Amino acid sequence: MSRRPPPERDVYAPPQHSAVAAAPPPLSRGRRIIAIVFAIATALAIANMVRISLDPTQYFRHRGSDVGDWNWPLLGVAIVGALMAIEAALACWALVGRRPWSAAWRCVAGLAVLLPWSLLSMIASMHMPGYVLFHGLWVWLLTFVLLIASVGIALRAIYRFARGRGERDAG
């Protein structure tokens, strides 16, 4: 009984069970455009939020307070900017992501996070600086975009169902 040597294998090729072998194909052109638009819109929104935060008149003062003792709240602006980036990444994932669910479920998951967050962030906005109010508008905009996308996905599914049913009835 003779033993055959194991087959030669390429040591530089990734193993079949690695994450490299299972990497998804690159995004389509339309999805890349949506992701780029989201990135540009987020950068512009964060820049506008920082611009608003630099204006001392955007902050609430009691009667008799002096504008001269104003300090720029760097930590607050950084936290709000990070929140805006995270919220935009969630909305972008819901629109252009491919995993782990279909687009409808991703939009529902994004709405399940952003809708309560937008309501909670607007409740606590009285007497907040202008940049926090701008953050609330940003969250509402992202929620509206996901809501419109969900309605569009639902209408497309209804149309496809009705068209398929008509073809089955005719054939």
Q: What is the pLDDT of residue 93?
A: 94
Q: Which amino acid is at 111?
A: L
What pLDDT, on the 0 to 100 scale, is given for residue 7?
Answer: 64
pLDDT level of residue 19 (50, 70, 90 thresholds): low
For residue 62, pLDDT beyond 80 = no
How confident is the model over 112-164, as pLDDT tens digits? 999 999 998 888 777 788 899 999 999 999 999 999 999 999 999 899 888 88
Nearest alpha carbon to residue 106 among 156, 159, 150, 161:
150
And the tokens for 24? 């998804």
Are 87 and 114 contacting, i.e. CB atoms less than 8 angstroms apart? yes
pLDDT value, residue 12: 62
Can you give the residue ranges of every domain in the chain?
A: 29-60+67-170
Specify whether the backbone of 12 is left (phi greater than 0), alpha (psi in -120 to 50) or beta: alpha
Q: Is the dihedral of CA 141, 143, 145, 151 positive or negative?
A: negative
How is residue 26 written in tokens?
A: 């690159």
Yes or no: say if 109 and 94 are a contact pair by the CB < 8 Å rule.
yes
Name the residue with higher pLDDT: 103 or 75.
75
* Structure confidence at residue 94 (pLDDT): 94
pTM for the full predicted model: 0.77
The answer, yes or no, to whether residue 1 has pLDDT greater than 70, is no
Q: What are 81's two structure tokens? A: 């900017």
Query: 168 in helix, strand or coil?
Result: helix
Q: Which residues, 6 or more positions from 149, have their beta carbon under 8 angstroms from its beta carbon? A: 94, 95, 103, 107
